[in-house]
Amino acid sequence: MKLHEYQAKEISAAYGIPVQKGTVVDRPEKIDEVALPYPVVLKAQVLVGGRGKAGGIKLAATPDEARTKAAQILGMDIKGEKVRRLLVVEAANIATEYYLAFTIDRAARRLVVIASAAGGIDIEEVARTTPEKIVKRHVDPFMRFHPYQAREIGRALAFEGRQLVEFATIAHNLSRVCIEMDAELAEINPLAVADGKLLAIDAKLIIDDNATYRHDGLPRNEELTELETAAKAEGLSYVELDGDVAIIGNGAGLVMSTLDMIAHFGGRPANFLDVGGGATTENMAQAMRIVLRKPGVRALFINIFGGITRCDDIARAIAAQPPAVPMAVRLTGTNEDEGRKILQDAGIRADVDPEAAAEEAVRLAGAA
């Protein structure tokens, strides 16, 4: 479960990590009640990254400006998420930006600390273009994160003197946040030097869903997009991604391998919907309407392995409302012949081989 910045900062502050003073507002008028010295920074509280670039973070020098800008950001759509709350903080006077995070290295089966003097920007980009600017150290699960490791990393980032001590303390405290909160990721980006002091400007915390029961008082954040909420209301399990191939399959395992196949052939899934076992013609029709409602979909891939689900039921839905975008269909299993016949009569071709169909879906999306 992802936490909002303000929630992650509340926890971080409780662990002794310095953060700016701030308050959360949900309406522009509430700015008047904010008791902070100006200038302030208004920060959209959404569970996606890159808010700054998307226009969700704005500096305001006066209360009037803050109210105007708050009205602009509230209600804004950032990567499919509506902004309902703003964190208003006292603006920091940033000199330099660093990156610091603890996360799980599944291959090494332990925590890893990642730090960089190239902070503030997308760390994946730094890792790709200038990997030498990233410091990575594993954390021993029994010894935990040692103060000497914190100082060693701090020196690698060229901190010295009082700032080295501050960095080591923050790093140590962040390791405690990560371990004690059962986090998959505890990230500060940027960790900034502002007026000579280290300060967490942004905070990101993802709690392991399997461990939320161990933490009383954790917020329950709904991470669903509008379409995901609509699908959930109709009892369908639908997940949104950011590619251009819409995917419908039956069964979680089949759907997961379908995503892998699309990626294998160089495509990018736009979303996926699992119609589950025993999907009716109506379920399938509904599924198609939902995945195709997502903007940016250039091809549809339907991958059905009929068991309790009958291929003829599926085919009837496809034949009744052929999509506006090109489509690749893989249909096999129960009542396959009937299903194939229905599609054929509607002028739609279906594959038996999932890989051939996946490759075709990727090709169609590329050509569209």
Position closest to ligand GDP via CB:
52
In this structure, which amino acid lies at residue 262? I
Comparing CB distances to ligand GDP, the nearer of 194 and 261 is 194
Sign of CA dihedral 25, 29, 31, 33: negative
Decide if 99 is catalytic: yes
Q: Is residue 187 classed as helix, strand or coil in its secondary structure?
A: strand
Q: Which residues contact 73 (CB under 8 A, 6 or more apart)?
A: 42, 44, 55, 56, 58, 83, 86
- DSSP code at position 171: H
By CB under 6 A, residue 22 contacts ligand GDP: no
Contact between 4 and ligand GDP by CB under 6 A: the answer reads no
Rg value, the chain, Cα: 25
Which option in Mn ion, ligand GDP, none does residue 8 bind, with CB closer than 5 to 8 A by kind? none
Query: Which does residue 228 bind out of Mn ion, ligand GDP, none, counting CB within 5 to 8 angstroms by kind?
Result: none
Which tokens is 365 given?
């999306």
Best CA proximity match to 137, nearest among 175, 97, 193, 96? 175
Number of H helices, E strands in the chain: 11, 17
User: For Mn ion, which is the closer residue by CB, 5 or 312?
Assistant: 5
User: 97 touches which of Mn ion, ligand GDP, none (CB within 5 to 8 A by kind)?
Assistant: ligand GDP
Is residue 4 within 8 A of residue 221, CB to CB? The reply is yes
User: How far is the C-alpha of 119 from the C-alpha of 103, rounded, in Å?
Assistant: 16
Tell whether residue 123 is a contact of ligand GDP (CB under 6 A): no
Residues in 195-214 that interact with ligand GDP by CB under 6 A: 201-202
Interaction pattern, residues 237-276, with Mn ion; x per rule: CB under 5 A? ----------------------------------------
Nearer to Mn ion, 201 or 248 (CB): 201
Identify the residue among 50, 147, 266, 307 touching ligand GDP (CB under 6 A). Answer: 50
Q: Residue 268 has which token pair?
A: 């990018």
189 interacts with Mn ion by CB under 5 A: yes
* Selection from 354, 355, 315, 312 nearest residue 335 by Cα: 312
Catalytic-residue membership of 187: yes
Question: Tokens for 292?
Answer: 């195709």
| Catalytic option among 6, 99, 184, 228 | 99
Beta-sheet pairing, 299-306 with 269-274: unpaired
- Least distance in angstroms from the C-beta of 239 to Mn ion: 24
Contact string 197-236 vs Mn ion (x = CB under 5 A)? -----x----------------------------------
Contacting residues toward Mn ion, per CB under 5 A: 189, 202
**Active-site amino acid positions:** 99, 187
Contacting residues toward ligand GDP, per CB under 6 A: 41, 43, 49-52, 57, 91-92, 94, 97, 120, 189-190, 201-202
